[in-house]
Structure 1
């Protein structure tokens, strides 16, 4: 049942991104994500036949990985410094896709930092369990990952558009820092929860 819910979340997540990117004309980002998915699928099929491949769920369970890597084109083409201000904005960027790109990048950056910290201390202490929790979060918990991204997007939108009254594709330095802290808290909370569920 949980796996079915995860697959539905993934299907909606991918469909929303594809439709939004297509309508906004973000074809470089869209095609880069598709090519990355195909590339990793083909490589995985050769390295781990029967386990990893384009038609296997192991590849489909982390679309955020391909989408975040593909968003490099979005940031290269649109990410600009606010003149005489402490912040950034997506020049000509669709507000929804701007929120989508920034939230995905923040979540992935925090996950990578946590993974590097754990790797630097591995295998001392609880690092084996923490590393397992991080892998579980990134690869096997699409529902939680999507929910984290939705929370960040909603908070960014509410702060920028409702409270400040500016377009949602503008991001202050404080806003980005707050997003990093929230992403750190959410991911740490998941790892702690996973560790508490371990039966020795």
Structure 2
């Protein structure tokens, strides 16, 4: 964990146990759990920031989860499985698990949730790379971006200004597009070889305009 409030960017190593090959990560600001996927364990784990309460949330029929996100409003967990080619949802404790997307999907990777609008987005590294959008219950699936993509990765949403950001690990650039699918723009296109993911920081001294809780 790195503080963004000082110029030194002081970091703190979280005292988490049994972390071997962590890939995707997210934080629940309500119950204050950090969630992550581990490709060695083939599981989704969670723990408090101080290392307490560590437990496995999802492990059955999970092959390679490269994308995972928390719906902090409805208290659900979404993830992709690149090995088994599906997108699934469960409660935050792993119960009530359900596969939402398993057809016309090749290499699902990153995933991000927009609970206030009722959507989630995910990237697909298949032969026809794309970013898709669907309602939180898996209905009304829609191809959101399909042109000039190769390995789209690292989705993030600016909930205040309504932007969707992504990186492309093959084209080595970061782009954004408004959530009404206009104003697509390349933001960074140099010196970022094979970028995997990033997050947008929310100021810690206030909630943003959408009313979302700040990050820790």
TM-score (norm 2): 0.26
Name the one with the larger helix percent. 1
TM-score (norm 1): 0.27
**Whose relative contact order is higher, 1 or 2, with alpha carbons under 8 Å and at least 6 apart?**
1
Q: Which has the larger radius of gyration?
A: 1
Name the one with the larger strand percent. 2
